[in-house]
Amino acid sequence: MPLANGWTIVLMDDEADIRDVMTLTLQDSGYRVLTAADGQSGVGLCEQVNPQIVITDIRMPGMDGMRVLQVLKERLPDIEVIVATAFGEMDLAIRALQLDASDFITKPIGDSALFLALSRAQQRYTSRKQIKDYTRLLEIENARTSQELAATIAFQKNLIESSMDGILGCNETGKVMIFNKAMERLLGYSKKDALDHLSLDQIFPPDERIRFNSVLSSEAYGGKNRLFLHETNLLSNTENRIPVQISAAVLMEEETISGLVCFVRDLRELRRLEQEMSDQARILHQDKMMSLGRLAASVVHEINNPLAGILNYICLMRRIMDRGPLVADQQDKFKLHLELVESETRRCAQIVSGLLTFSRKSPPSFTLVQAEDLINRCMLLSQHKIQLSRISITVFIPPSLPPVLGDFNQLQQCLINLLFNAMDAMPDGGTLDISAGEDLSKKEIFIQVKDSGPGIAPSDLPHIFEPFYTTKNEGYGVGLGLSTVYGIMERHHGSVQVESQIGKGTTFFLKLPVKGEVA
């Protein structure tokens, strides 16, 4: 736990419960904590008290956490900003780090992650303050004696060596003259092997060296001979490409180039987070395809019935036409047959449209979703499978339920997963109850799926939302369904809950907020 004496934190979050709990935790550790319910008032509070550290939620009404980060870095650049993100927001976390956030932590926030982020922020704040103090000292005073000069050089060397980012300095020919510890860790070269031996041409891949020279000399990336947050690759001592972010400046003496200084940030952890986010999307789609396969057989039967009816009615209409011109009663019968053909054709089109929408791999699209529409769509796709399973089903949806903000396709995936699990739990038939309702005190709606199956063992209940954990027999599932449901509900700031008793069935609840921003 970091030492907290003398440290002031401004905490920004639109949820009062989170502010209260985190305030107590931080105050117990010795921090002075001030809070704000939105970004606008939070920035104003920072301008009044000038804290060392800010902890801000990404998603807030009005000015969100990303805008707070940008404004603070413009107006109060010395403040270290820690952003808090929800499940699946790794793209926003990466963007925040690129905008010079100190760190990010995910909700729900654990004490260990919180204090680790605070420790890093304090270290960055202290290092930057030392550098700023040192710069101010050089502007005010000139070293007057050799002893003062030696102390200044030693201090400068210590600052360079203590930097968490790599610092690389070269002379006018590109030979490495400064190579701090962070660069040693990044590239694997020792200082002895690097100084006066390495050159920029050895550190950059040839193609990246050409691109680096081009952007450094242009006006578009911070000004001529200056470069800000340029992403490229460097070569390690084992010839491996390492993704990095470089800020650089050409050093001039009397209008002559005397060298180059580069500040290098390791991007491998950011790339790992990007890959993790990609893997999450892949698993989400993989689970959807598994559900789609199970739906396909059911939909084939569901479409065959209306198609058979359509063919029969067409044959009847042809026979009527073969008898000659239509008399009045034949016209009425012909019109009735046409209406039935139209009705059955629309039914087939709705089923196919629903199946295509469900199968489509697309980025999240948050709109207003009605629980009734969601349940009706899932019932349309699952109805024949339920009938084949000899399951008696009841559906209750009260009128005038408020809509929720969500991705219809992902919420449909959640509900179909729960329906399939309920059917799998009742291979010999049973009852399935689906209902929806509203909890006014919590400002949320819920969708309930209740089966009469054998129930879930108490030893399995704590693990059912873990990836690849399954209680089904081999060949009947790989344990992705419920973990996917859990992730989607977290993404929607909702929750999935379960109640189960052996021999008395299982009930799952999907709970979604009626109001509030969604990531």
Give me the residue spans of the domains in the chain.
8-133, 163-266, 273-513
User: Of residues 194 and 79, which shows the higher confidence score?
Assistant: 79
User: Which tens digits make up the pLDDT trace of 82-114?
Assistant: 998 876 677 777 888 888 888 888 888 888 888
Domain 163-266 has CATH 3.30.450.20: yes
* Three-state secondary structure readout of 110-141: CHHHHHHHHHHHHHHHHHHHHHHHHHHHHHHC
Query: What angle is formed at CA 435 by the lines to CA 433 and CA 438, rounded to 5 degrees?
Result: 155
Q: Given pLDDT bands bounded at 50, 70 and 90, which one contains residue 147? A: low
| Residue 1 confidence (pLDDT) | 46
Distance CA 414, CA 252 (A): 61
The yes-or-no answer to whether 8-133 and 273-513 have a common fold is no
Q: Given pLDDT bands bounded at 50, 70 and 90, which one contains residue 476? A: very low
Q: Given pLDDT bands bounded at 50, 70 and 90, which one contains residue 24? A: very high
Question: Which residue, among 398, 394, 389, has the nearest Cα to 421 in the 3D structure?
Answer: 389
Mean pLDDT, residues 299-322 taken together: 69
* Three-state secondary structure readout of 206-260: HHHHHHHHHHHHCCCCCCCCEEEEEEEEEECCCCCEEEEEEEEEEEEECCEEEEE
Question: Which residue, among 97, 266, 251, has the nearest Cα to 187 in the 3D structure?
Answer: 266
User: Which tens digits make up the pLDDT trace of 339-365?
Assistant: 777 766 876 776 666 555 555 555 667
User: Which tens digits make up the pLDDT trace of 240-284?
Assistant: 888 888 888 888 887 788 888 888 888 877 777 766 665 555 655
Structure tokens given for 201: 């041409």
Domain 273-513 has CATH 3.90.700.10: no
The answer to whether the pTM exceeds 0.75 is: no
Would you put residue 163 in left (φ > 0), alpha (ψ -120 to 50) or beta?
beta
The chain-wide mean pLDDT, for the chain, equals 79
Structure tokens given for 62: 């009005």
Phi/psi of residue 129, each to 5°? Answer: -65, -40
Structure tokens given for 263: 């500040």
The pairing of strands 103-106 and 80-85 is parallel
Point out the least confidently predicted range of 277-291, 389-403, 494-508: 277-291
Domain 8-133 has CATH 3.40.50.2300: yes
